[in-house]
Amino acid sequence: MFVVAVLVEIDVDTLSRVGEALADPTRRAVLARLLAGPGYPAELAEAICVSRSTMSNHLACLRGCGFVTATYEGRRVRYALADPAIADALTALAALPLGPCPQDVAS
């Protein structure tokens, strides 16, 4: 029997940014909405039932983490996922067979 060790270099800063972006339920909802295509802050805020200022703060976080881009269209700003790889990664993460959360399992 042969044992092969594979060393994978992982950028822990990237993992930290992913964790920050996904840590909040509103940001997760925004990312899920943007999987379907670009959106505008007011529309996203209404769809997710948060204030425009709250949405602005979450979009700033997602922009700072590198998840979304902002494109100015006159006085409006359109947000979209920054890269198709982000959509692929979000879809793959959401499909992981993790089972129920331990706190959700009755004792």
59 is a domain residue = yes
Residue 99 in any domain: the answer is no
Separation of alpha carbons 80 and 86, rounded Å: 11
Task: Give the integer Cα–Cα distance in Å for 84 and 86.
Answer: 5
* CATH number, domain containing residue 80: 1.10.10.10
pLDDT at residue 105, as a whole number: 63
Exposed, middle or buried, 2 (CB in 10 Å: 0-12/13-18/19+)?
Answer: exposed
- For residues 50 and 43, the answer to whether their CB atoms sit within 8 Å is no
Torsion of CA 95, 98, 104, 107, to 10 degrees: 150
> Over the stretch 11-59, which tens digit does the pLDDT of each residue have?
888 889 999 999 999 999 999 999 999 999 999 999 999 999 999 999 9
d(CA 7, CA 71) in angstroms, rounded, equals 39
Q: What is the C-alpha to C-alpha distance for residues 25 and 88, in angstroms, rounded to an integer?
A: 19
**Does the residue 1 lie in any domain?**
no
Within-domain flag for 78: yes
CA distance 22 to 42: 21
Q: Tell me what pLDDT residue 82 has.
A: 97
Is 7 among the domain residues?
no
Q: What is the pLDDT of residues 67-99, one digit of tens each?
A: 999 999 999 999 999 999 999 999 999 999 988
Residue at 32 is within a domain: yes
Can you give the pLDDT at residue 54?
A: 97
Total domain count, the chain: 1
Q: Does residue 10 form part of some domain?
A: no
> Which residues constitute the domain of residue 62?
17-85
